[in-house]
Amino acid sequence: MRQVTEGIYWVGVMDWDRRWFDALVPTPDGTSYNAYLVRGSRATALLDTVDGAFEKNLLRKLAGLERLDYVVAHHAEQDHSGALPAVLERFPEARVLCTPRCADFLKDLLPVPQERIRTVADGEEVSLGDRTLRFLHMPWVHWPETMVTYCPEEKILFTCDMFGSHLATPELEVSNERVLEPARRYYAEVMMPFRGQISKHLQRLSSIEVEIICPSHGPVYRDPRMIMEMWRAWVNGAPKNEVLIPYVSMHGSTQVLVERLVDSLAERGIPATPMNMLTNDLGRLAMALIEPMTIVFASPVVVLGLHPMVQQAAYTAAMLKPKARFVSLLASYSWGGKPEEQLKGLLGSWKVEYLQGVMCKGHPRGEDLKASDDLAELIRVKHAAAG
């Protein structure tokens, strides 16, 4: 056990080797499944469990515990609830506290006896004696059933996946510099599509005095100002006067168009970042998508469509729904294809304006470079109008 503060302990596990999370997002720094034990003068609560693969690790940490009154399930996803059946078996007196929606999910996902679950209302408090647990329903962070817990006596907020980071570390807390990229990656990969809901939750949290944040992944924050300010900027900040260009080039033509657009935008005072999708993973793409106002995909035409890696980038962007307002395309081809139509189809429900792109036959010539310059100028005008 590692002490967070008197009577409150971290009892989670480090997953040093995990490189893919949910078989979906890259986790180059591993991750942790944070569980916290809160020992009050009259009762004891475990806040979340751990991934089922590590249930024995958690039970070893709880071996000396004579009684467990509550297990708080902030979130039904298995990286936090997987060990819940084993904990309930070990502590037959314990009751699960969770939102009504979470109760449904737990019953669906795990062998959790229904009679062991007690649902809690938004704002409801459970007293542990000299410690109180106040439950705040905060749905869609990043599932619909999520909630957080506030301990007013210690001013600690247990935030579930909110403010999390995929970072395995021997320390309970690390420097802001160390956690910055894992926290940014976590937000981008997991939370970005839910900005609207999260914005309301951040507003609600601003009225609560928080001295320590205990998330369910990554380090604890004893000074939560940095992580809260970063989240407010990512969630609520306006898109920046920047362009991201996810691209692949097969024989160099697309590369020429990309470089021309980067230079043309730079002449107009707009920083543009090319991102080769052969050498950057989807986590790096997700992070780069957080702020730019425009995303220009760039691709050779392959079997009449976009290169598969560019399709993947476009699909991922549309799924994450970053705050960008404009999307366009640079494409090079030899004998035909409809990459623009394909890209527009991939955008789905992502609310962006499509700007007429550049279709270049063969190696870029004068008119193709002029078309790239025209796109740069259109982006400048659009950015200026969007303010």
Q: Is residue 131 a contact point for ligand FEO (CB under 6 A)?
A: no
216 binds ligand FEO (CB under 6 A): yes
Tally DSSP H helices, then E strands, for the chain: 12, 23
| CB burial string 68-95: b at 16+ within 10 A, e below | bbbbbbbbbbbbbbbbbbbbbebbeebb
Out of 15, 29, 79, 145, the residue judged to bind ligand FEO by CB under 6 A: 79
Cα–Cα dist 103/71, whole Å: 12
- Burial class of residue 28, CB neighbours in 10 A (0-12, 13-18, 19+): middle
Stretches 77-85, 111-119, 220-228, 379-387: which one binds ligand FEO (CB under 6 A)? Answer: 77-85
189 binds ligand FEO (CB under 6 A): no
Burial category of 365 from C-beta neighbours within 10 Å (exposed 0-12, middle 13-18, buried 19 and up): exposed
Check residue 51 for interaction with ligand FEO (CB under 6 A). Answer: no
CB of 146 or CB of 342, closer to ligand FEO: 146
Taken in order 174, 323, 319, 266, the sign of the CA dihedral is negative
15 touching ligand FEO, by CB under 6 A: no
CA nearest neighbour of 250 among 208, 295, 300, 207? 300
Of the candidate residues 55, 77, 242, 373, the single one contacting ligand FEO (CB under 6 A): 77
Task: State the Cα–Cα distance between residues 9 and 151, nearest whole angstrom.
Answer: 13
CA distances from 111 to 73, 100, 117, 215 (A): 14, 17, 12, 25
- Shortest Cβ 79–ligand FEO spacing (Å): 4
Q: Provide, rounded to whole angstroms, the least separation between the CB of residue 162 and ligand FEO.
A: 10
For ligand FEO, which stretch binds (CB under 6 A), given 74-82, 192-200, 204-212, 223-231? 74-82
In the chain, what is the greatest distance between 2 CA atoms, to the nearest angstrom?
79
The yes or no reply on residue 368 touching ligand FEO (CB under 6 A) is no
Name which position in 80, 201, 284, 323 contacts ligand FEO (CB under 6 A).
80
48 binds ligand FEO per the rule CB under 6 A: no
CB 244 within 8 A of CB 292: yes
Of 183, 94, 84, 197, give the one whose Cα is nearest residue 148. 197
Rounded least distance, CB 169 to ligand FEO, Å: 16
Residue number, 10 or 297, with CB nearest to ligand FEO: 10
Nearer to ligand FEO, 55 or 77 (CB): 77
CB atoms within 10 A of CB 62: 18
- Give min distance, CB of 164 to ligand FEO, in A: 7
Is-contact 8 36, C-beta < 8 A? yes
Q: Which is nearer to ligand FEO, 102 or 257 (CB)?
A: 102
Kindly tell me which residue out of 75, 166, 284, 321 binds ligand FEO, with binding defined by CB under 6 A.
75
* Choices 4-12, 35-43, 72-80, 83-91; region in contact with ligand FEO by CB under 6 A: 72-80
**Cα–Cα dist 277/246, whole Å:** 6
Tell me how far, at minimum, the Cβ of 47 lies from ligand FEO, in Å: 13
Binding-residue pattern over the window 143 to 162 for ligand FEO, x denoting contact by CB under 6 A: ------------------x-
In Å, how far are 205, 380, 385 from 354, measured between CA atoms? Answer: 36, 14, 15
Of 217, 284, 307, 325, the residue at the interface with ligand FEO (CB under 6 A) is 217
Is residue 325 a contact residue for ligand FEO (CB under 6 A)?
no
Phi, psi at 158, each rounded to 5°: -95, 115
Interacting residues with ligand FEO (CB under 6 A): 75, 77, 79-80, 142, 161, 216-217
